[in-house]
Structure 1
Amino acid sequence: MRLFDDALFQMFAERALMTMTGGGAEWGECALTARRITEGDADSWFEQWTSTAATVRGWAEESAESGHPVSAREAFLRASTYFRVAYYPLYGVPVDPRLTEAAKRERECFARFAELCDPPLQPVRVPYEGTYLDGYLCPARGPEAERGPRPTVVAVNGYDSNVHEMYWAHARPATRRGYHCLLVDGPGQGLALVGQGLTMRPDWENVLRPVIDHAVTLPGVDRDRLAVIGWSFGGFLAPRGVSGDPRVAALVADPGQWDQMENLRRMLPLPQDLKDRLPDAAPSELDPHLAPLAQSPELHWRLVQRGLWVHGLKSLGEYVLEMDRYRLSDVAANISCPTLVALNADEPGAARAETLYRALDCPKTLVRFSAEDGTPGHCEGWNRSRYSQRVFDWLDDVLA
């Protein structure tokens, strides 16, 4: 499904295309938008995706006004996706006002979708350190939903996703199987980053704890059957969070991860003596060696535009040293609940999944994915059906 020769634009487009199986996008709308875009031109990208989003939103409004709620909600969901995809190239600080406006429109469209769902998705606001974290409780569907309190999945996000994209990845498969699903953006993620300027933190136990505190107060949530699922960088954050909360009954890390500095030592273009000294180095020592990374459009987006914004930092040297604070080695032994560690052979971020698996002192399962079994892509994005089948079958057994 290639729409662009530009690797970065293709990566962004795939974020929309992957949601097609959940109604988040349509091929025809994405392909038409792509034909109007000038390769490598961020302004052109933003203008054309927002144009498509506005058109689809207009269709949704027409159906809503005419009393056709199913057509309306389907179109509102797609419009939300297109507004989100529109602002990916604009990541970074200072925050582009176009990004802020598109994110606002994305939220509005998703809110209309949420209202029209059956049953409706319930907006939640989690108290958090003098402020709040926004999200949605997505109620279970089907006959199981009427059988008293339901097992509940708490979804943990990664770097550049948000609660709206997590709906497709986590809530849709969960609710169809009789689970409630709580979607919340933490610091450095989605609504919390764009709307409040809250940046990422390594001690995710202090983020997950108030989320769980709130989850157990929600109607219909079985407090004895809480599962936490992290995807992308959430594969690090979720285990870190669960290590500090014994109320969690099951954990999924997709992909399983480990101490972030270990990955960087292996990958970064640094002299060996400087690698050996990490993190005992100054940012100014690292920056000259890291500057060539920013010449790659993909790495510039991932590290400079996204990474520095998410962490609230000013240089790649600071970013590398900050990663030393992101550790699981000192808390993995505290995870006591049954844990599923996902390992995708095609995913660089899963390189240390087996390290996490070996370090766990709890009931544990290692599940492998790859292009060879039809589950390629970051977080099995091109076959979430197979991922959901294996993960939720496991959860059904663990939480039975």
Structure 2
Amino acid sequence: PIYILSTDEPFHFELLVPLGESIYGGADIGPILRTAKNITPGDFDSFSTAFFNLANYKKSQAEDPALAYNPVNVRESWFAASTYFCRADFYLHVNWDDPRINIYWGEQISAFDKAIAALPIPGHRVKTSTSDFDIEAIWFPASTDSNTNRPTLILGNGYDGAQEGLYHTVAVPGLARGWNVITYEGPGHPISLHLILK
């Protein structure tokens, strides 16, 4: 049997996205299933609010000194918070004047950056400038040994997808196999759109 997360088909699909990211530490299954129950089908604000609340809960866990005894706990809480802020932002783009768009995006980026800084081999943001635009990227080295040549996966998300989402779906398996990974965003991707709106 298929478990329907929402009677609203687009909402059902958008709830499957973070569930897919849970495989490699991008989200938590139980909280997503509970959050799905709090979303009113067809109500964009309901979807956004439910994920914003979940994101803030995970952020509070990441910042809680009582839970900081293990760096994996903290890192995974930051990754989950980033995923949930991204989901909270998703349906706001019906109205690009909505101030929550940049607020939630900023929270997503901040949480993701804290998570990748806490990786055993930290990832970091890099920028390549051209005459017309900047290419924003995130570099994930597979090893601290810079003297060994390794294959590198170069990942760009489709359409308007954020590069951060690629970490939990493609980058983690690549890194586990000893490949370096670089994700990027160009014109039309979220980072360029958000920078225009600032």
TM-score of the two chains, using structure 1 as the length reference: 0.46
CA contact (8 A) 2:61 2:67 kept: no
- Counterpart position of 2:104: 102
| Counterparts of 1:190 and 1:52, CA distance in 2 | 22
The structure-2 alpha-carbon separation of the partners of 1:98 and 1:21, relative to structure 1 and needing over 3 Å to count, comes to same
CA contact (8 A) 2:78 2:112 kept: yes
The structure-2 alpha-carbon separation of the partners of 1:75 and 1:126, relative to structure 1 and needing over 3 Å to count, comes to same
| Counterparts of 1:95 and 1:187, CA distance in 2 | 20
Offset at 1:67?
Answer: 4.7
| Counterparts of 2:131 and 2:66, CA distance in 1 | 38
- Counterpart position of 1:151: 151
| Counterparts of 1:122 and 1:70, CA distance in 2 | 18
- Counterpart position of 2:186: 186
CA contact (8 A) 1:138 1:180 kept: yes
What pairs up with 1:24-43 in 2 under 5 angstroms? 24-43=26-45
Among 58, 61, 74, the alignment partner of 1:59 is: 61
The structure-2 alpha-carbon separation of the partners of 1:179 and 1:89, relative to structure 1 and needing over 3 Å to count, comes to same
- Counterpart position of 1:11: 13
| Counterparts of 1:65 and 1:21, CA distance in 2 | 22
- Counterpart position of 1:112: 114
Among 81, 91, 94, the alignment partner of 2:93 is: 91
| Counterparts of 2:118 and 2:36, CA distance in 1 | 29
Q: Pick the structure with greater CA Rg.
A: 1
CA contact (8 A) 1:157 1:186 kept: no
| Counterparts of 1:135 and 1:2, CA distance in 2 | 36
Deviation readout 1:60-115 (Å, 9 max, x if unpaired): 11159845311100110011001111121122453422121111100000000011
Q: CA RMSD in A?
A: 2.0
- DSSP 3-state at the match of 1:120: coil
CA contact (8 A) 1:19 1:25 kept: yes
| Counterparts of 1:64 and 1:107, CA distance in 2 | 24
Q: How many residues align?
A: 195
Unaligned residue ranges in structure 2 (runs of 5+): none
- DSSP 3-state at the match of 1:87: helix
CA contact (8 A) 1:20 1:27 kept: yes
| Counterparts of 1:84 and 1:119, CA distance in 2 | 24
The structure-2 alpha-carbon separation of the partners of 1:114 and 1:35, relative to structure 1 and needing over 3 Å to count, comes to same
Kindly report structure 1 stretches of 4+ aligned residues shifted beyond 6 Å.
Answer: none
The structure-2 alpha-carbon separation of the partners of 1:88 and 1:154, relative to structure 1 and needing over 3 Å to count, comes to same
- DSSP 3-state at the match of 2:64: helix
| Counterparts of 1:62 and 1:166, CA distance in 2 | 27
- Counterpart position of 1:44: 46
CA contact (8 A) 2:116 2:123 kept: yes
- DSSP 3-state at the match of 1:181: strand
Deviation readout 1:9-67 (Å, 9 max, x if unpaired): 11111111111111111111101111112121111111111000000011011159845
| Counterparts of 2:181 and 2:59, CA distance in 1 | 26
Equivalent residue letter for 1:137: W
Equivalent residue letter for 1:14: L
Higher relative contact order, chain-length normalized (CA < 8 Å, sep 6+): 2
Equivalent residue letter for 1:159: Y
| Counterparts of 2:178 and 2:97, CA distance in 1 | 39
Unaligned residue ranges in structure 1 (runs of 5+): 198-400
Equivalent residue letter for 1:88: F
CA contact (8 A) 2:156 2:163 kept: no
The structure-2 alpha-carbon separation of the partners of 1:132 and 1:170, relative to structure 1 and needing over 3 Å to count, comes to same
Among 63, 76, 79, the alignment partner of 2:78 is: 76
Equivalent residue letter for 2:82: S
Equivalent residue letter for 2:61: W
**186-195 or 25-34, larger mean C-alpha shift:** 186-195
Pairing 1:162–2:152 present: no
| Counterparts of 2:67 and 2:133, CA distance in 1 | 36
Identity %: 28
| Counterparts of 1:122 and 1:111, CA distance in 2 | 8
Deviation readout 1:353-382 (Å, 9 max, x if unpaired): xxxxxxxxxxxxxxxxxxxxxxxxxxxxxx
CA contact (8 A) 1:49 1:85 kept: yes
